[in-house]
C-alpha cells in the first residue's frame, strides 16, 4: 500500500513540475490559448513574423468584452493581415470589413502585396456600398448656464446597441454619463457650469453587444472640448445681456460723430479746393488823386 501511494505522489509531482515525456513521445507545442490574449502580445508576435500565433491571439482578443476602440482597431489590424498572409482570403476580407467599420479611414500598406491588398480592396468596396459611412457626429452648444450636446450615430451595419455620452466642466475627475439609443439624432442636456468654468470636456462612444467600443468621438482619456463664448449669458446656448453700456453704444455719440465728420469734411473740401491763379488786376493797387484816379 505504501508503495502505491509513493508511486501516485511521484506522478502528480511530475505533472506539476512539467517532467519531460518518455523517450519517443512527440513534444507538445504550447497552445496559443495558454498564453496571454492581449493586443500587445498579438502585435509582438506579428512583428516576429509568427503569423499563426499572432492570428490565434488576435482571434481571442476580439472575442473579449469591454475592449476600447483603440484595442479593437489594433486587434483587427493584426487579425485581417495575418488571415491574408495565411491564405485565408474570405476571413481576411471579413476582418478588413470589420476594421473599416471601426476605422473607415484605415489604409492597408501597399508594400504588403496583392495577397493582403486584394481582400482589403474588396472590403473597401463593400464599405462604400453601405448607405452611410459609419461614425459619430457630435456638436456642442453651451453657455455657463448649461447647454446641449447633439449626437448623430451612423450605424449602417446595426452593430451598435447603446451610446454613452459623457461630459464634465473640469479638466479631471468623473464624467456625467448619459446613455442614449443609437438613433439618427439625440440631444443630451448639459448642466450649468460651476463658477469660473468655461470649458466643457465631452465624448461619445457607441458600444456593441459585448460592450466593445466600436465607434467613438473622443474618449475619457482624450475628450473633445467646447468653450463658452465671451459674454454668453446664463441661458443654455444663448448670449447673455451686457450690463450698462458704453460710449460707442450711445445713439448721441454717433449723431455728434456724424456731424463732426460732415463738418470736418466740408472744411477739408474748401481747404483742398484748387484756387484760381491771381491776376494782374487783383494784384495791382488802385491810387486816386482826389476824386479821380491817378495816371
Residues 40 and 99 reside in one and the same domain: yes
Q: State which of 99, 128, 157 marks the end of a domain.
A: 128
pLDDT at 233: 53
* CATH number (domain holding residue 59): 1.25.40
Residue 140 lies in a domain: yes
**Cβ-based neighbours of 109, under 8 Å, separated by 6 or more:** 116
Name the β-bridge partners of 202: 167, 224
- What are the tens digits of pLDDT across the range 109-154? 999 999 999 999 999 999 999 999 999 999 999 999 999 999 999 9
Greater model confidence, 4 or 80: 80
Q: Is residue 288 part of a domain?
A: no
Q: What is the rounded average pLDDT of the residues 208-231? A: 93
Element of type H or E holding 3: helix 2-17
155-158: list long-range contacts, CB under 8 Å, 24+ apart: 155/182, 155/206, 155/215, 156/130, 156/131, 156/132, 157/101, 157/130
Instruction: Give me the CATH number covering residue 145.
Output: 2.60.40.10
Q: Mean pLDDT across the stretch 209-226?
A: 97
Domain-embedded: residue 16: no
Residue 194 lies in a domain: yes
Residue 183: what pLDDT? 79
Q: Write the CB contacts of 146 (distance below 8 Å, at least 6 apart in sequence).
A: 189, 190, 191, 192, 193, 236
For 229-288, how does the pLDDT look when each residue is reduced to its tens digit (9 = 90+)?
A: 765 555 444 443 333 334 444 444 444 444 444 444 444 444 444 554 444 434 344 445
User: Kindly report the CA angle at 122 between 120 and 124, in degrees rounded to 5?
Assistant: 70
Residue 53: partners with Cβ closer than 8 Å, 6 or more residues away: 32, 35, 45
Query: Does 157 fall in a domain?
Result: yes
- Asked if residue 257 belongs to a domain, the reply is no
pLDDT of residue 231: 57
Of 97, 128, 159, the one marking the end of a domain is: 128
What is the residue range of 84's domain?
31-128
Measured from the Cβ of residue 127, the count of other Cβ atoms closer than 10 Å reads 19
In a domain, 58, yes or no: yes
Phi-psi region of 211 (alpha: psi -120 to 50; beta: other; left: phi over 0): left
> In terms of DSSP H, where are the helices of 62-134?
69-85, 89-102, 114-128
Cell numbers for 253, please give them.
455719440
Q: Judge if 68 and 124 occupy the same domain.
A: yes
Q: How far is CA 141 from CA 137, 166, 174, in A?
A: 14, 15, 21
Position 152 scores a pLDDT of 96
Domain count, the chain: 2
Last residue of a domain, one of 207, 227, 247: 227
Amino acid at each position: 500500500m505504501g508503495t502505491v501511494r509513493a508511486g501516485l505522489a511521484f506522478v502528480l509531482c511530475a505533472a506539476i513540475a512539467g517532467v519531460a515525456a518518455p523517450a519517443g513521445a512527440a513534444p507538445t507545442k504550447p497552445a496559443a490559448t495558454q498564453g496571454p490574449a492581449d493586443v500587445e502580445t498579438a502585435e509582438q508576435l506579428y512583428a516576429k513574423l509568427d503569423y499563426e500565433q499572432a492570428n490565434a491571439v488576435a482571434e481571442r482578443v476580439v472575442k473579449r468584452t469591454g475592449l476600447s476602440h483603440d484595442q479593437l482597431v489594433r486587434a483587427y489590424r493584426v487579425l485581417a493581415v495575418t488571415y491574408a498572409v495565411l491564405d485565408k482570403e474570405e476571413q481576411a476580407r471579413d476582418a478588413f470589413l470589420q476594421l473599416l467599420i471601426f476605422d473607415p479611414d484605415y489604409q492597408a500598406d501597399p508594400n504588403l502585396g496583392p495577397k493582403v491588398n486584394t481582400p482589403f480592396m474588396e472590403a473597401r468596396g463593400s464599405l462604400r456600398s453601405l448607405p452611410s459611412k459609419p461614425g459619430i457626429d457630435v456638436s456642442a452648444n453651451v453657455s455657463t448656464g448649461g447647454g446641449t450636446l447633439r449626437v448623430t450615430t451612423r450605424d449602417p451595419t446595426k452593430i451598435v446597441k447603446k451610446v454613452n455620452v459623457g461630459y464634465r466642466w473640469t479638466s479631471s475627475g468623473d464624467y456625467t454619463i448619459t446613455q442614449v439609443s443609437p438613433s439618427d439624432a439625440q440631444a443630451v442636456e448639459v448642466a450649468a457650469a460651476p463658477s469660473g468654468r468655461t470649458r466643457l470636456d465631452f465624448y461619445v462612444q457607441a458600444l456593441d453587444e459585448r460592450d466593445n467600443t466600436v465607434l467613438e468621438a473622443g474618449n475619457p482619456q482624450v475628450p473633445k472640448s467646447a468653450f463658452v463664448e465671451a459674454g454668453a449669458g446664463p441661458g443654455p446656448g444663448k448670449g447673455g445681456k451686457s450690463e450698462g453700456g458704453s460710449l460707442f453704444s450711445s445713439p448721441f455719440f454717433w449723431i455728434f460723430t456724424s456731424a463732426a465728420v460732415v463738418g470736418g469734411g466740408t472744411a477739408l473740401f474748401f481747404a483742398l479746393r484748387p484756387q484760381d491763379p491771381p491776376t494782374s488786376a487783383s494784384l495791382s493797387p488802385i491810387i486816386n488823386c482826389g476824386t479821380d484816379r491817378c495816371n
